[in-house]
Amino acid sequence: MKVDYIIVGSGLAGILLCEVLKQHDKSFVVFENDSQHSSTVAGGLYNPVVLKRFTQVWKAKEQLDLALPIYHKLEQSLNIKLDYKIPIYRLFSSVEEQNNWFEACDKPRLFNFLSTKIEHPANNAIKSNYGYGKVFETGRIDTAILIRTYRENLDKNKLLIKETFAYNNLISKGSKVLYNNFEAKHIVFAEGFGLTKNPFFNYLPLKPTKGELLTIHAPGLKIDFVLKSGVFLIPLGEDLYIVGATYEWDDMSPNVTAKAKDELLNKLDKFLDCDYKVVGQVAGIRPTVKDRRPLVGQHHEYKNMYILNGLGTRGVMIAPYVAKQLYSYIEEGNPLEKEIDICRFY
């Protein structure tokens, strides 16, 4: 079977690349063995501000301007609800944090994203002596629904190969790659933390980071915004909330842990003042990079092999942006931005 592209991985990176290829009438097939779970357990927030340091996310405006119309188009084509517009409130723990917020509001890159007043929504379930700062242009993409539905659609159209990709069977031959009974012009690896087992790109400094989330039932909380303090608190409806997330660099098992649960609940209890019950816990492995930039580019020897990886914790924002960049690089000969090009690690 001849195709333009073989894509390995159907997380956010793989899905958004598929959308770019469809837009340009390129044929493709996707390999997926369900071993990657970072996208399916992600909180799915898009937020232009780093709320720990009150700085702008890299390329925030460019990413949002590109990503949101694409998710809207996916909602229509897949007949699902993905984009939930919801404000994010940063809970202040001191006067110093308030002052830092106001300083950030004056920065040219941030003033369109941050409210210049301290919010005081009445809610006895939250300890909020110093109030909140409100972030604009935020929301949540339901990544679990997106990935599940997209894979089902690929499978229905016979574009999804449900098997582990065998790197030893891949042959680069001139202007094409051969894999079992497939022949393609290009192959793109978008397999998340599975990159560590990829013999063509495992020299890159991808650092898998395990993250765990809880789901709690809290009938007394009643908030219709995302709350950021020591953890994120994300409303799902019906008094359910996501609590997350942890960062673990040693344990790369897919199993949930009591350690992560205790860590999240300890941080939650510092600002939450109502009864709740833990009703769920999930774990996933994020593909993170030491310089906090994605891994995009061409293999230094095999010129028809490419990588699209390292989206980290902000995949819903950055995936459409880097997928478009990679396509433009392969098909139109436009250079990649130096900040994302894997050449920076040669």
Tens-binned pLDDT, residue by residue, of the chain (346 aa)? 999 999 999 999 999 999 999 999 999 999 997 666 566 567 899 999 999 889 999 999 999 999 999 999 999 999 999 999 999 999 999 999 999 999 999 999 998 999 999 999 889 999 999 999 999 999 999 999 999 999 999 999 999 999 999 999 999 998 999 999 999 999 999 999 889 999 999 999 998 899 999 999 999 999 999 999 999 999 999 999 999 999 998 988 889 999 999 999 999 999 999 999 999 999 988 889 989 999 999 999 999 999 999 998 899 999 999 999 999 999 999 999 999 999 999 7
Q: Are residues 111 and 165 in the same domain?
A: no
The residue among 217, 213, 224, 221 whose CA lies nearest residue 272 is 221
How far apart (Å, rounded) are the C-alpha atoms in residues 220 and 237?
13
Q: Are residues 211 and 188 in the same domain?
A: no
Give the tens place of pLDDT for each residue, 285-309: 888 998 999 999 999 999 999 999 9
For residue 109, the enclosing domain spans: 84-139+207-285
**Beta strands, E only, the chain:** 2-8, 28-31, 45-46, 49-50, 55-56, 83-85, 88-91, 132-135, 139-141, 160-161, 170-173, 176-179, 182-189, 206-217, 226-228, 232-237, 240-244, 277-289, 295-298, 305-309
- Residue 74 falls inside a structural domain: no
pLDDT attached to residue 39: 61
- Residue 217 falls inside a structural domain: yes
Q: For position 122, which CATH number holds? A: 3.30.9.10
215: exposed, middle or buried (C-beta count within 10 Å: 0-12, 13-18, 19+)? middle
**Quick one: which H or E segment has residue 143?**
helix 143-156
Q: For position 156, which CATH number holds? A: 3.50.50.60
Tally of CB atoms within 10 A around 204: 18
- Residue 78 falls inside a structural domain: no
Two tokens, residue 107 = 């920065």
Q: Are residues 297 and 186 in the same domain?
A: yes
Query: Residue 139 to residues 53, 202, 276: CA-CA distances in angstroms?
Result: 20, 34, 24
Q: Are residues 243 and 322 in the same domain?
A: no
